[in-house]
Structure 1
């Protein structure tokens, strides 16, 4: 079960808001896209357990929407395959940050579309 409130670092939240200005997609949708990109990557995860100093709290219902159970299943599978036994908050933060790194070049909604049309 996911925690009710997810703590994201201020840096992560700022990046999500920046992407919102470029794509017109809300931060919660961009976070879902980022997690999806991170989850499809099969390389070994190196999750750093840390608590951000400055945080932005987002409710679980907002972050995952109606797809909470699906994301929970995907993240549990990820943890099982990667043999990760870290706090779920740290895992979610890692997945969002890792996915945001992959979204670094996105300047428009068309760039985002191209990312999914040509997976690498």
Structure 2
């Protein structure tokens, strides 16, 4: 999948490298909510994109990483996420590595989900 932005083609990578800290947070939330890390990451991306005024891109590469496949991360909604990320890049004039963009969106969204302690807490996320 290619994301065209400003004449530059951004490819959704086959494998996304998440920091170990991010992966540990996703796994912790799984124990609290029973949502798998990929579903929680999708919610986190959506939360970050919903409030793009505060979304920032961290271009530093994590020292320790955990790899998640694109198909697992985005599932059947890959094209939807591709479109949302494309719109974000266009509106925010983002010209960064797609890995850094995806990592940053997940990290920003996880910060917004920091209050989750159990599955029922998700109702506040969608209001």
Q: What TM-score comes out, normalization by structure 1 length?
A: 0.94
Partner SS for 1:39: helix
Gaps of 5+ in 2: 2-11
Query: How many residues align structurally?
Result: 117
Give the drift of 1:45. 3.4
CA-to-aligned-CA distance 1:9-37 (integer Å, 9 cap, x gap): 00000000000001000000000000000
Contact 2:48 2:55 in 1 (8 A): no
What is the Cα-based RMSD across aligned positions, in Å? 0.9
Q: Deviations over 1:77-97 (max 9, x none)?
A: 000000000010000000000
Matched, 1:116 2:88: no
Q: Partner residue of 1:24? A: 34
Where do 5+ consecutive residues of structure 1 fail to align? Answer: none
More helix by share: 1
Contact kept in structure 2, 1:34 and 1:97, CA below 8 Å: yes
Q: Which has the higher strand share?
A: 2
Q: Which moved more, 1:67-76 or 1:108-117?
A: 108-117
Question: Runs of 4+ in structure 1 displaced over 3 angstroms?
Answer: none
> Which residue of 1 is the match for residue 85 of structure 2?
75
